[in-house]
Structure 1
Amino acid sequence: MARTRLLFACLALATPLVPATATAAPLPASGLVLSVRQEMGTFSTTQLSCEPAGGLHKNAKEACAGLAPVEGDFTKMSPGDAMCTMELNPTKATLRGKWRGKKVDFQEVFSNPCVMHVNTGKVFEF
């Protein structure tokens, strides 16, 4: 129940609100909700906008730059060069929302948070 409320709160943040009296500006073409759930740890979520980069994501520019070549599908990103321990802590990464006006919904489970970061760059580093 609390998880559902948190998801709805995050989705509300991902939808920009424009007052009726304001001059309409172009909305970001990409508005995403990102979440990370570790089996032996925490759940965290944030909002990311791209074109222009922004939102609550602390590495928004780098995350958007990483997602651009793969059209928002982080599962297609090339892994980095870092090495990780063989720790088993399944970590589920989820990306939902719109990428350049198209609905996206991607998720992947990595063996641990380090492996997730190596494979997704700054996208889930929030």
Structure 2
Amino acid sequence: MILTSASGEKAQPPERYALLSCTPTAGARLARTEACDLLEKAKGDPANLQPSRDTYCPMMFSPVTVTATGIWDGRFVRFEHTFGNACELRSTAGSIFDI
């Protein structure tokens, strides 16, 4: 998956980007393992992720837009979403977009 993150309500231009490979030969870094585990539970599509019920985020509007594009289990995935702030992003996507 190619992951991007940008401050604001638009994905372009991205401020950060990374390539996330969840193949067993990609190495066992903890952050990669956590991100891949979350994507596995979401069947490779971040749109299937739900916010944590245990996280309380401030009512502060500081949008963050993220994208994920790639192939998961032979299926093309294209995801783009704007979260109200970084806390909401982390509550929903966990470590996937820690790039």
Return the TM-score normalized by structure 1: 0.66
Separation in 1, partners of 2:23, 2:60: 36
2:6 aligned with 1:34: no
Q: Contact 1:54–1:61 at 8 Å: present in 2 too?
A: no
Secondary structure of the 2:78 match is strand
Q: Which runs of 4+ in 1 moved over 4 A?
A: none
| Larger RCO (CA under 8 A, 6+ residues apart) | 2
What does the per-residue CA deviation read over 1:27-72, in whole Å, with 9 as the maximum and x for residues that have no partner?
xxxxx100111129x71111100132738x8711000000002111
Q: Quick one: distance in 2 between partners of 1:67 and 1:85?
A: 26
State the identity as a percent.
30
Question: What is the number of equivalent residue pairs in this alignment?
Answer: 93
Q: How far did residue 78 of structure 1 move?
A: 2.2
RMSD: 2.2
CA distance in 2, matches of 1:91, 1:70: 21
Query: How far apart, CA to CA, are the structure 1 residues paired with 2:20 and 2:30?
Result: 9
Q: CA deviation at 1:104?
A: 0.9
C-alpha deviations, 1:58-103, integer Å up to 9, x for none? 7110000000021111121122222111111111110001111211
Instruction: Give 2:71's aligned amino acid.
Output: K
Mark the structure with the bigger radius of gyration: 1
Tell me the amino acid that sits aligned with residue 34 of structure 1: L
Aligned pairs (5 A) from 1:13-28 = none
Q: Matches of residues 35-114 of structure 1 in structure 2 within 5 Å?
A: 35-39=4-8, 43-52=15-24, 54=26, 59-80=31-52, 81-114=54-87
The code of the aligned residue for 1:52 comes to: P
Tell me which residue corresponds to 2:92: 119
Alignment TM-score, normalising by the size of structure 2 = 0.82
Q: Which whole-Å CA distance do the structure 1 matches of 2:73 and 2:23 have between them?
A: 8
Asked if structure 2 preserves the Cα contact closer than 8 Å seen for 1:34 and 1:94, the reply is yes
